[in-house]
Amino acid sequence: PYTTLFRSIFYSEELLKDNIDNLKLANQLQYAIKNRELTLYYQPQFSLSSGKITGVEALVRWIHPEMGFIPPDKFIPIAEETGQIYEIEKWIINTALHQKALFEQDGREDIDISINLSSKALASEMNFYAVEKLFSSYDIDYTHITIEITETAIISDIGTAVDRLKKLKKLGMKIALDDFGTGYSSLIHLKELPIDIVKLDRSFIKGIEGDSKNAMIIKAILYLTKDLNYEVVAEGIESIEQLEYLIKYKCQTGQGYLMSRPITIEDLCEKLEFGFEWKL
């Protein structure tokens, strides 16, 4: 009994401490945009047939003045909780679309930019309206913009989500289903959704090695998504073996630490400048 009591006290203290930490972070997040502590990193995406960079995924970073690097997995959920996500998201979209315009000025019209959209952006009517307005306010070629959403963003109200995604697609943008293979992801849902790209989750790609059943599932999904006319992007490629397998079964696009981590815009431009490729 003592140990359980001790454990439960200890546990609630931990929880309390977590909550206080989160409150502090939420408080400091208010100044993050104004103080220019947020920045976008870009992870290159490669054509697995040519080895060339075809696009990038924009990933937000918070460089806190005292605490240093705070991962998005940590602060995005807090921002979603407090509603700060709306302002952060606007900043992310503006920064990424501005970058797209700069690419076009530099003669890099063909580089795709993927932007992650929080499930909140789609769910709240007022925020969606603001996001839609923002997305139509740039004079750029929207066919090279992809919006990444997760299934949780859709599943609670499929009808509304489908309507809203269709509105965004009218601008020419593509929609990618992120983290496919986790959570509720079901192939049955796929066909109801106005989706162009399926992103195979990292946990799936990990499974290529070792367990042959996993590898067979991936093979089947690659065949199926191809028959259904979806483009497939494999995420989290970390080994040559994984890359070889994905190439063998004709996965079109891939990203992962093996080829490149998310990098600053300066490093990205350098890679593009000297025509960085990833060949086996």
Nearer Cβ to Ca ion, position 116 or 127?
116
Nearer Cβ to Ca ion, position 28 or 205?
205
Q: How far is the CB of 147 from Ca ion (least distance, A)?
A: 10
Name the residue among 221, 218, 243 with its Cα closest to residue 230: 221
What is the C-alpha to C-alpha distance for residues 176 and 140, in angstroms, rounded to an integer? 20
* β-bridge partners, 43: 57
Nearer Cβ to Ca ion, position 72 or 194?
72
268 binds, among ligand C2E, Ca ion, none (CB under 5 to 8 A by kind): none
Q: 138, 101 in Cβ contact below 8 A?
A: yes
Q: Which 174-233 positions form the footprint of Ca ion (CB under 5 A)?
A: 178-179
Binding site for ligand C2E (CB under 6 A): 43, 58-60, 71-73, 76, 92, 116-118, 178-179, 202, 236-238, 255-257, 262
Tell me the longest C-alpha to C-alpha distance in the chain.
Answer: 70
* β-bridge partners, 69: 63
| 173, two tokens | 């943008």
Residue 148 as a binder of Ca ion (CB under 5 A): the answer is yes
59 binds, among Ca ion, ligand C2E, none (CB under 5 to 8 A by kind): ligand C2E
Nearer Cβ to Ca ion, position 151 or 178?
178
CA 56 centroid distance within chain: 10
- Phi/psi at 148 (5° precision): -100, 125
Q: 47, 255 in Cβ contact below 8 A?
A: no
72 binds, among ligand C2E, Ca ion, none (CB under 5 to 8 A by kind): ligand C2E
Question: What is the β-pairing status of strands 53-64 and 68-70?
Answer: antiparallel
Range list of H helices, 108-251 = 119-123, 125-135, 152-155, 158-170, 187-190, 202-206, 212-227, 240-248
| 235, two tokens | 């995420």
Q: How far is the CB of 61 from Ca ion (least distance, A)?
A: 14
Task: Pick the stretch among 131-139, 148-156, 220-228, 258-266 that binds Ca ion (CB under 5 A).
Answer: 148-156
73 binds, among ligand C2E, Ca ion, none (CB under 5 to 8 A by kind): ligand C2E
Q: Which 111-140 positions form the footprint of Ca ion (CB under 5 A)?
A: 116
Q: How far is the CB of 139 from Ca ion (least distance, A)?
A: 26
Nearer Cβ to ligand C2E, position 3 or 25?
25
Nearer Cβ to Ca ion, position 26 or 169?
169
76 binds, among ligand C2E, Ca ion, none (CB under 5 to 8 A by kind): ligand C2E
Q: Which 166-185 positions form the footprint of Ca ion (CB under 5 A)?
A: 178-179
Q: For Ca ion, what does the binding mask look like between residues 61 and 80, x meaning CB under 5 A?
A: --------------------
Task: Tell me how crowded residue 230 is: count the other CB atoms within 10 A of its CB.
Answer: 18
Calculate ∠ Cα 155-156-162, nearest 5°. 60
What is the C-alpha to C-alpha distance for residues 131 and 140, in angstroms, rounded to an integer? 16
What phi-psi label fits residue 188: left (phi over 0), alpha (psi between -120 and 50 degrees) or beta?
alpha
Nearer Cβ to Ca ion, position 48 or 205?
205
Contacting positions for Ca ion (CB under 5 A)? 116, 148, 178-179
